[in-house]
Chain A
Amino acid sequence: MKQSQSNPLQRELSRTSATGLHPDADLLSAFAEGTLLERERQEVLTHLASCADCREVLSAAAAAAPASFAGTQAAPVRRRSWLRHPGLLWAGAAAVVVIAATAGIMYQQKAGLEKQTTVASNELVKQPAQAPAPVESVNGPAQSEKKNAERHDKAKEAPARLQARTPAPQAAMRAPVMQQSAKVEPSEGPEQQTADRLQNAQAVQSQGRSQQGSEGQLIAGAGKQSLNALKSEQETEAQSRSGQNQAAIAGSGAAFGSVEPSSAMAKAALADIPRPHWRINPAGQAERSFGEGNWQRVLPDEAAKMRVISVFDNDVWIGGEESRLYRSSDNGSTWRAVVLPVKDGRDHTLVHIGLAAPQRITVEAADGTTWTSADGGATWK
């Protein structure tokens, strides 16, 4: 349909056509990222003002950016409390410590009743399927019991923690993987966790290969790069895989696409893309990685320190100080802020997010205050 020319403003805007050369992809991406020199920025802006093509490209590229949260997500309302008065902060802090200790004891008792299988960084942690540990941490000691006892202390001292919970049916589905990982000779502390993660990742990878066929093999090859960081013995095989990848690329333009494209295959491929690892760095910033230790910050505009990350399949929840709570339903590509109802007239430091089921969420603050939602976070009590 031809556009209407009846409006003088629209007609005048569309009258000027693009002048000069189109900016290349480098300039457009640098423009979007704000890294152009001022002279170049003005040149690109002048061109964009009169070139619908380049505006379309810029828009499509910006919409595909994973950090779309920063530009579009409205920041949660900051509630300024009278408790922020410096004189009262110390008294408040002391009260929080007492309450947190009490809440910790209460939680420890309650935690024993929870039945949730926990995985670290979306990789399965070796656990008997019949008796999953309620809470597991990436950088903590292997003994779950000890961790539970020190749960709230750790929340203060070592904010880099991660909780990833898997519902019981999925844990049952992954039972063969767990059995395979049980063959690993037990070792102590973090080494054991690393070995377990490696074995589980390998098992998942081999499972993926058998299910996905040749396409799955190629994708699994990329995932194998991250395994190299965990175990040097895999280097030879990974290089071989890498060689296959490049051979596939060099062989034809249908690299990674030699299989007939179909919706089911595309979905399978999506599911096979390496799932991100999560952590909170010492500065209290949430970070995501797809392997090789390349951590990228999520929620870049968030100044408050994050304290807890919980993962349930593609659903990722991040909570922290000042009652900040964020949710992503696509493994961290896009985020939205979740505003909890104000309790006790002040902000809280969120230290635990329980995801017993996709729709049932429990958020707990350091002082024991809890919020529950039975509808996936739409409403809270």
Chain B
Amino acid sequence: MLPEPSASIEDGAQRSALSEATAQRYDESGAAKYGINLEHFEQIVAAVVARYANDAGEPEKLALVATLRVEELVLARACTAGIEAAWDAFLTRFRAPLYEAAYRIARNEATGRELADGLYAELYGMPNREGKRVAKLDYYMGRGSLEGWLRTVLAQQHVNRFRAKAKDVSLDEQVEAGASFAAAEPESAIEGDDVVGRAVAQTLAEVSAEERFLLASYYLDQRTLADIARQLGVHESTISRKMDRLTGTLRKRIRKRMQAAGMQARRCDELLEQLDVRDLNIDVAANLGQEKPTGTF
């Protein structure tokens, strides 16, 4: 059975638009100086599109191609291909930022150097069992800057090391460090907890992903407003305004739900006072230890 002619034409047109958008970015990528021709460049970009927007429509694919950091993507691919000029460029541009980032993440010179050295070796790649060299730089897809990607990989490795190290702490060391092993606190430590808990759960279910991220970062991880602002690339005052608005709205909604459940206004206020979680003693390391990585997108 022959395929639908209209679908075939549309598919061809889409491929053409994508190819055209890719070709437009070829010159600015500087791929030619590493001996990467247009066809190879299209394959590189196509692999990125397939990874992140395989099921997306044409506009999204085109937008993805338009936002790719093609110059750094090509540099990474040229490095993994073993092109010496690419390694020279990479070392010149990214070695110092990589080590600086490692020192900042580790907050310790020796650990930072160890962290950066380890990543450096992985970036170049080590032979696997089949003798094929597997370079970490191959995983860079050009979605963000290469420097930002390096920082994120360093941060991932640092967190993984921290988690692994935390698991190695012996019981004796924990006791010496003052860790106690008291009985778990009762679930309902606050009077009227059922009503409050239901109201909180229903209210939190309504908030957006960004609002939930803000709440978790601020109350659960105990990040500062400046930290959160840095993560989102906005000014601290923006986060401050959002948090004020958000906490005010949450309080109103929770209070409304508690009253709807038959609680008196004065009692609502008393219980809400206990909801100020800024004085909670939360151990981020304990949180980290609770979650297991399940792969990547």
**Residues of B169-188 whose CB lies within 8 A of A:** 179, 184-185, 187
**Residues of A230-270 whose CB lies within 8 A of B:** 239, 242-243, 245-246, 249-250, 252-257, 261-263, 266-267, 269-270
Q: Contact between A68 and B230 (Cβ–Cβ < 8 Å)?
A: yes
A72 within 8 A of B: yes
Interface segment out of the listed A25-33, A80-88, A337-345:
A25-33
> Please, what's the 1-or-0 string for A42-70, where 1 marks a CB less than 8 Å from any CB in chain B?
11011011111101111111111110101
B233 within 8 A of A: yes
Max chain A Cβ within 10 angstroms of own Cβ: one of B56, B91, B124, B156: B156
> Please, what's the 1-or-0 string for A214-229, where 1 marks a CB less than 8 Å from any CB in chain B?
0000000010011000
Binding site of A, secondary structure by majority: helix, strand, loop or mixed? Answer: helix
Contact of A242 among B84, B116, B196, B291 (CB under 8 A): B84
Interface segment out of the listed A6-14, A104-112, A137-145:
A6-14
Interface segment out of the listed A161-169, A184-192, A288-296, A348-356:
A288-296
Q: A64-B101, A226-B92, A270-B109 are known contacts. Are A8 and B196 too (CB-CB below 8 A)?
A: yes
Q: Contact between A262 and B110 (Cβ–Cβ < 8 Å)?
A: yes
Q: What CA separation (Å) do A255 and B122 show in the bound complex? A: 10
**Residues of B85-111 whose CB lies within 8 A of A:** 87-89, 91-93, 95-97, 99-105, 109-110
Q: Contact between A10 and B219 (Cβ–Cβ < 8 Å)?
A: yes
Q: A8-B200, A262-B110 are known contacts. Are A50 and B100 too (CB-CB below 8 A)?
A: no
Contact of A53 among B116, B126, B185, B291 (CB under 8 A): B291
Q: What CA separation (Å) do A262 and B105 show in the bound complex? A: 18
Chain A interface category by residue count: 35 or more
Contact of A1 among B103, B154, B233, B283 (CB under 8 A): B283
Interchain nearest-CB distance for A53 vs B (Å):
5
Q: Contact between A71 and B234 (Cβ–Cβ < 8 Å)?
A: yes
**Residues of A174-208 whose CB lies within 8 A of B:** none
Q: A4-B282, A26-B149, A45-B213 are known contacts. Are A57 and B159 too (CB-CB below 8 A)?
A: yes
B294 within 8 A of A: yes
B246 within 8 A of A: no
Q: Which residues of A contact B296 (CB under 8 A)?
A: 21-24
A377 within 8 A of B: no
Q: Which residues of A contact B12 (CB under 8 A)?
A: none
A274 within 8 A of B: yes
Q: What CA separation (Å) do A14 and B286 show in the bound complex? A: 12
Q: Which residues of A contact B159 (CB under 8 A)?
A: 53, 56-57, 60
Q: A3-B287, A17-B291 are known contacts. Are A37 and B230 too (CB-CB below 8 A)?
A: no
Binding site of B, secondary structure by majority: helix, strand, loop or mixed? Answer: helix
Q: What CA separation (Å) do A24 and B140 show in the bound complex? A: 10
Q: Contact between B60 and A37 (Cβ–Cβ < 8 Å)?
A: yes
Q: Which residues of B contact A242 (CB under 8 A)?
A: 84, 87-88, 91
B201 within 8 A of A: yes
Q: Contact between B230 and A63 (Cβ–Cβ < 8 Å)?
A: yes
Q: Contact between A71 and B235 (Cβ–Cβ < 8 Å)?
A: yes
B284 within 8 A of A: yes
Q: What CA separation (Å) do A3 and B141 show in the bound complex? A: 37
A18 within 8 A of B: yes
Interchain nearest-CB distance for A15 vs B (Å):
8
Q: Which residues of B contact A146 (CB under 8 A)?
A: none
Q: Contact between A74 and B52 (Cβ–Cβ < 8 Å)?
A: no
Q: Which residues of B contact A62 (CB under 8 A)?
A: 227, 230-231
> Please, what's the 1-or-0 string for A279-308, where 1 marks a CB less than 8 Å from any CB in chain B?
000000000001110100000000000000
Interchain nearest-CB distance for B50 vs A (Å):
14
> Please, what's the 1-or-0 string for B133-156, where 1 marks a CB less than 8 Å from any CB in chain A?
000000111111100110111111
Q: Contact between B233 and A33 (Cβ–Cβ < 8 Å)?
A: yes
A39 within 8 A of B: yes
- 14 further A-B contacts with Cβ under 8 Å, apart from A18-B291, A21-B294, are A2-B184, A3-B282, A7-B280, A12-B200, A12-B201, A22-B294, A23-B296, A24-B141, A48-B213, A52-B220, A59-B221, A61-B152, A72-B230, A246-B87
Ordered by A's residue number, 12 sampled pairs between the chains whose C-beta atoms are within 8 Å are A4-B281, A6-B190, A8-B201, A26-B149, A28-B144, A31-B144, A37-B53, A57-B159, A60-B155, A63-B104, A64-B104, A242-B88
Q: Residues of B at under 8 Å CB distance from A?
A: 52-53, 56, 60, 63-64, 67, 84, 87-89, 91-93, 95-97, 99-105, 109-110, 112-114, 116-118, 120-122, 124, 126, 139-145, 148-149, 151-156, 158-159, 179, 184-185, 187, 189-190, 193, 196-197, 200-201, 204, 209-210, 212-213, 215-217, 219-221, 223, 226-227, 229-237, 274-275, 277, 280-284, 286-288, 290-291, 293-297
